[in-house]
Chains A and B, each alone.
Chain A
Amino acid sequence: MRVLVCVKRVPMTGGRIVLTEDAQEIDTAHLGFTISPHEECGIEEAARLIEAHGGESVVLTLGAAEAEEQLRDAMALGIDRALHLDSEGSEWDGQATAEAITNAIRAEEAASGTFDLVFFGNESADAGGFQVGIRVAHALGRPCVTGLKGIAVEGSGVRCEQEVPGGRDVYRIPFPAIVTVKEGLNLPHYPSVPAKLRAQRQPVDTATPARQEQRLRKLRLVVPESRGKRAEVLGEGPAAAERVVEVLREIGVA
């Protein structure tokens, strides 16, 4: 089978978000970067599927030149090949992102065959648009199930599980299909050192799609006001226990 995973490079924000002076971006001067969490599970699942069923897995990202780091991380986790759509640094809205990815999938499939399954994250950690996978599925005319916490190949399709209040909803859709997944789908493994070294030598194909007009146009970012509190220190070490229980009683839970 052939499987594609679409991922996004996002900063590891740590404890406090600091913006650049023009309030257009998070100041990432002192931050590391990672693959958006939901998509890490997409990578893990794609690698497992190809291990079980044979075939080829491909990872794709639309992002700055530095996003090559995340493509190599994905290959270290078992993905065979990488496609990089260079956004030339700027952020793209959901519609423009979906259009570029749709075109890339069409080109890749014309050359190497249809992807039975394409994985997206349910939403990116940073922009949280909740739409790219759905838009790509619509453009390609493929069935799409969102927010998966469980997936199993059944014959020529997939059984998909979504977490809902009180249990799980099940969908069955035929290949070729598109799914968006959530963290918790699986527990991603850590790459081995040899796998990391191997990933450094694997090829990355790069294309530079034209940036479309932004129809959800970012004006500026704003860090919401914090609760503006200073924690009341109830004490140090086990000696604080008595005061803690007083507080729990005041709140009405002890």
Chain B
Amino acid sequence: MRALVVIERLADGVDELSLQALAFGRGLAGGPDVHALAVGEGGADLAPLLGAHGVSEVHVAEHEAFVSYAPPAVARAVVDLVERLSPGLVLAAGSDRGNEVLARAAAMVELPFAANCVDATTGDPLRVTRQRWGGSLLEEAELAGAPALLTVAPHVVAAAPVDGAEATVDTFTPTLSPDELAVRVVEHVRAEAAGVSLSDANVVVSGGRGTGSAEGFAVLEELAELLRGAVGCSRAVTMAGWRPHTDQVGQTGTKIAPDIYIACGISGATQHMAGCKGAKKILAINVDPEASIMASADYAVIGDLHEVVPAVSAEIRKARGT
């Protein structure tokens, strides 16, 4: 079966999640007939890298609309290729942009779309297993119609180079209507650099309702600083206004993957665990030994975070002789 995979580009290559989608798509296609779409100038430069990830042909959509992200224009490029190549499968990464572009393409061609799949089996209809509740629940479903449009949930398959030959390059100009040119990024506002970012931190020290107040985070900030980590929090905390939403770990907050997640006074609602399940280790500090977070934690300290956390900071200082 022929697969078309929509690639998200970085300044210097291809986004890791797109390479994962390629690996997933190649497996599902069950053969070498894997095409990729890359939009914008310089897309042809990706031919060696995409070839090494199993792409036989890369289609480069060129248009002045692609100088910045223009989601309806990208979706139209997908639809143009669907009409020309008749793929059985159209895939993208289950990222913000991957989900957006495939949903737009699905609307244009009036087909169903399955977001964040973790598994799929070809057949008529195609059968998928997809994430609900940010991955806390899975759904098995049938996806009718052809081509099957789906995105691949992040980090369920690894990118897998195959030593393929350089992909051939096809350059084309999609036919864009004025409406499809009207929605595009017109400005980028840079974030102020503010220490270690939550999504990249190796250590995240996070607080829940158990912190009791905004002031209750002082001891967490102290520990995070000692470990050069970031401070996070649960949804209960942001809803109470104790911390900004940018600190929130969870299904509707930031998804993190630190070496260790230190969860202080956090009960472990599914909404929260969907955001921290990527952590390599979880240490739960909680007064309640029956808290549901204990089922997902590697380590636990039973006790009041207001006493335990300062004691840990003091122990680190003592060990460092500071």
Residues in A lying within 8 Å of B, measured CB to CB: 13-17, 26, 37-38, 93-95, 98, 123, 125-131, 134-135, 137-139, 141, 143-147, 161-162, 164, 166-174, 182-184, 187-188, 215-224, 226-227, 229-242, 244-245, 247-248, 251-254
Contact = CB atoms under 8 A, between A and B. Distances in A.
A234 B299 contact: yes
Secondary structure of the A contact surface, majority rule: mixed
Given A14-B269, A224-B136, A231-B284, 14 more contacts: A128-B115, A135-B107, A141-B179, A146-B96, A171-B183, A172-B186, A173-B182, A216-B114, A216-B144, A217-B144, A223-B137, A232-B299, A240-B303, A247-B299
Nearest to A219: B140
B80 interface: no
Interface of B: 69, 71, 96, 99-100, 103-104, 106-108, 110-116, 125, 127, 129-145, 151, 179, 182-191, 202-203, 226-227, 229, 235, 238-239, 241, 245-246, 248, 251-253, 259-260, 267-271, 280-281, 283-284, 289, 291-304, 307-308, 310-312, 314-316, 319
16 contacts: A15-B270, A94-B113, A135-B103, A137-B107, A143-B183, A169-B187, A174-B182, A184-B252, A216-B114, A222-B129, A237-B301, A238-B303, A241-B311, A241-B315, A244-B283, A251-B281
B315 A215 contact: no
A215 B143 contact: yes
A167 B252 CA distance: 18
Given A143-B179, A232-B300, A218 B268 contact: no
A219 B127 CA distance: 9
Given A37-B252, A217-B144, A237-B303, A222 B115 contact: no
Nearest to B134: A128
Given A131-B107, A169-B185, A232 B298 contact: yes
Contact of B245 (A135, A183, A237, A252): A183
A254 B316 contact: yes
A147 B182 CA distance: 17
A249 to B, nearest CB: 8
A188 B245 CA distance: 12
Contacts of B245: 183-184, 187
A254 B130 CA distance: 38
A247 B69 CA distance: 44
Given A182-B252, A244-B283, A247-B299, A139 B139 contact: no
A89 B145 CA distance: 26
B284 A222 contact: no
B189 to A, nearest CB: 5
Contact of A131 (B115, B248, B295): B115
Given A13-B270, A236-B301, A168 B189 contact: yes
Nearest to A226: B295
A245 B315 contact: yes
Contact of A244 (B183, B203, B293, B312): B312
A130 B267 CA distance: 28
B130 to A, nearest CB: 8
Contacts of A138: 104, 107-108
Name the residue in B103, B135, B293, B302 with the highest tally of chain A Cβ atoms < 10 Å from its Cβ.
B103
Contacts of A14: 269-270, 292
Contacts of B315: 241-242, 244-245
Contacts of B138: 221-224
Contacts of B107: 98, 131, 134-135, 137-139
A220 B238 CA distance: 34
B203 A13 contact: no
A170 B185 CA distance: 5
A221 B189 CA distance: 41
A224 B114 CA distance: 18
Nearest to A228: B295
B227 A254 contact: yes
A234 B311 CA distance: 14
A159 B116 CA distance: 29
A16 B133 CA distance: 12
Nearest to B244: A184
Contact of B253 (A131, A183, A236, A237): A183
A139 B112 CA distance: 14
Contacts of B280: 251
Contact of A169 (B69, B127, B283): B69
B314 A241 contact: yes
A15 B140 contact: no
Contacts of A188: 239
Given A169-B69, A234-B300, A125 B307 contact: no
Contact of B271 (A13, A98, A224): A13
B133 A229 contact: no
A182 B298 CA distance: 31
